[in-house]
């Protein structure tokens, strides 16, 4: 419940004092001719649109030839997804006293970030059940390790859901979905 002092002010607000503008000297006003008028300024939106339309025309050829990290074919997606699934399974089933947990989690994070960056923009993969389940499982694993640290064990309920999503993603991969 809110405090009554926050709801009702204890004192009346006082008005701010009027600030008088500084007087200008007569000598400065009577000096030489006024400065020439500045050229008319384009509105900000027009300048922005002009810049955004013309800027791609001036890009260097090297910037246009940057390779995009898209999958070359379906077999590459299946292979990469299977590798990430195996890494997730081995990492989340490790014992919390294992000295290699932190390095395995770091390796898993690297692999999952690479997988997501590579396949998230592929329009052909976005509707697949394997992609959806894999993305959801990776999000749950990454979120857990980011929030609780690399050595924190995953709770049983979350681990079961992640393993179930991995299993359904594997089945969907085998069916070509």
The span from the CA of 177 to the CA of 129, in Å, is: 6
Per-residue pLDDT tens digits of the chain, which is 177 residues long: 555 555 555 566 677 777 777 766 655 555 556 666 655 555 666 666 666 665 555 554 444 443 344 445 678 888 999 999 999 999 988 887 888 888 899 999 999 999 999 888 888 888 888 889 999 999 999 999 899 888 888 899 999 999 999 999 999 888 887
CATH fold of 74-174: Methane Monooxygenase Hydroxylase; Chain G, domain 1 (1.20.58)
Q: How many CB atoms lie within 10 A of CB 162?
A: 22
pLDDT for the residue 88: 92
Domain boundaries, the chain: 74-174
| pLDDT at residue 163 in the model | 92
pLDDT on residue 63: 44
* Alpha carbon distance 144, 142 (integer Å): 5
As a whole number of angstroms, the distance between CA 100 and CA 94 comes to 9
């Amino acid at each position: 419940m809110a405090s009554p002092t926050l709801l009702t002010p204890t004192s009346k607000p006082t008005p701010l004092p009027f600030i008088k503008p500084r007087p200008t000297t007569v000598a400065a006003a009577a000096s030489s001719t006024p400065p020439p008028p500045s050229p008319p300024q384009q509105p900000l939106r027009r300048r922005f649109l002009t810049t955004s339309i013309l800027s791609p025309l001036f890009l260097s050829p090297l910037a246009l030839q940057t390779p995009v990290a898209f999958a070359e074919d379906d077999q590459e997606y299946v292979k990469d997804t299977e590798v990430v699934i195996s890494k997730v399974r081995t990492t989340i089933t490790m014992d919390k006293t294992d000295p290699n947990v932190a390095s395995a989690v770091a390796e898993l994070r690297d692999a999952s970030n690479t997988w997501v960056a590579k396949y998230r923009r592929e329009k052909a993969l976005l509707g697949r059940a394997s992609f959806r389940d894999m993305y959801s499982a990776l999000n749950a694993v990454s979120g857990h390790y980011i929030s609780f640290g690399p050595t924190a064990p995953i709770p049983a309920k979350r681990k079961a859901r992640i393993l179930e999503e991995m299993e359904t993603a594997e089945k969907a991969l085998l069916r070509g979905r």
